[in-house]
A and B are shown apart, each in its own frame.
Chain A
Amino acid sequence: MSTPNSAAVRSLYRSILRTGHSFANYNFRSHAHRLASHRFHEHAGEKDPAKIKEFYEDGVQNLKLLKRQTIISQMYQSDKLVLEGGNAGQDASGGRLRQRSPQGWD
Chain B
Amino acid sequence: MASLSVRSIGRQLRSCRLAASPAQRISRVGGARFVSQSRKLSATPEDDLPGHGFNSEQILSKVKEEAKRVGKSEVEVDAMLSPGAGVLKQATIMDSGSRPIYMDMQATTPLDPRVLDAMMPYYSGLYGNPHSRTHAYGWETEKATEQARDSIAKLIGADSKEIIFTSGATESNNMSVKGVARFYGKTKKHIITTRIEHKCVLDSCRHLQEEGFEVTYLPVQSNGLIDLAELEKAIRPGQTSLVSIMTVNNEIGVIQPMEEIGKLCRKNKVFFHTDAAQAVGKIPVDVNKWNVDLMSISGHKIYGPKGIGACYVRRRPKVRLEPIITGGGQERGLRSGTLAPALVVGMGAAAEIAARDFEFDSAHIKRLSKKLTDGLLSMEHTLLNGDANARYAGCVNISFAYVEGESLLMALKDIALSSGSACTSASLEPSYVLRALGSSDESAHSSIRFGIGRFTSEAEIDYVLKAVQERVSFLRELSPLWEMVQEGIDINSIEWSQH
Contact = CB atoms under 8 A, between A and B. Distances in A.
Interface in B438-465: 454-460, 463
Given A93-B458, A105-B35, A106-B32, A82 B113 contact: no
A79 B32 contact: no
Contacts of A6: none
A82 to B, nearest CB: 4
A104 B95 contact: no
Interface stretch (B98-106, B289-297, B479-487): B98-106
B364 interface: yes
B111 to A, nearest CB: 10
Contacts of A30: 455, 457, 459
A87 B113 contact: no
Main secondary structure of the interface of A (DSSP, over half): loop
Given A31-B454, A104-B33, A106-B33, A79 B98 contact: yes
A44 interface: no
Interface in B73-102: 84, 87-88, 91-92, 94-102
B308 interface: no
A10 interface: no
A35 interface: yes
B114 interface: yes
A83 B360 contact: no
Given A31-B455, A34-B364, A83 B460 contact: yes
Contact of B455 (A28, A93, A101): A28
A34 B364 CA distance: 10
Contacts of B102: 27
A8 interface: no
Interface string A88-106: 0001110000010111111
A50 B32 CA distance: 40
A68 interface: yes
A35 B35 contact: no
B449 to A, nearest CB: 19
A71 to B, nearest CB: 11
A84 B377 CA distance: 27
Contact of A38 (B87, B360, B455): B360
A73 B32 contact: no
B33 A92 contact: no
A80 interface: yes
Interface residues of A, number: 35
A82 B416 CA distance: 11
B113 A69 contact: yes
A28 B113 contact: yes
B117 A79 contact: no
A84 B458 contact: no
Nearest to B360: A38
A101 B92 contact: no
Contacts of B457: 26-27, 30-31, 34
Nearest to B98: A79
Given A38-B360, A104-B32, A105-B35, A79 B459 contact: no
Nearest to B37: A104
Nearest to A33: B457
B307 interface: no
B98 A83 contact: no
Contacts of A31: 454-455, 457
Interface string B105-123: 0000010011011001000
B51 interface: no
B95 A80 contact: yes
Contacts of B100: 81-82
Contacts of B91: 102
A105 B34 CA distance: 7
A73 B34 CA distance: 20
Contacts of B458: 93
Contacts of B84: 103
A86 interface: yes
Contacts of B459: 30, 83, 91-93
B330 to A, nearest CB: 31
B30 interface: yes
B203 interface: no
Contact of A101 (B32, B113, B414, B460): B32
A2 interface: no
Given A81-B99, A82-B97, A85-B97, 15 more contacts: A26-B457, A27-B456, A28-B110, A28-B455, A68-B117, A69-B116, A72-B113, A80-B97, A81-B100, A83-B459, A84-B97, A87-B92, A102-B87, A104-B33, A106-B32
Q: Which 9 pairs of residues, A with B, have the shortest CB-CB distance?
A: A80-B97, A27-B455, A69-B113, A30-B457, A104-B34, A101-B32, A84-B97, A82-B414, A93-B459
8 contacts: A28-B113, A28-B455, A79-B97, A80-B95, A80-B98, A102-B87, A104-B35, A106-B31
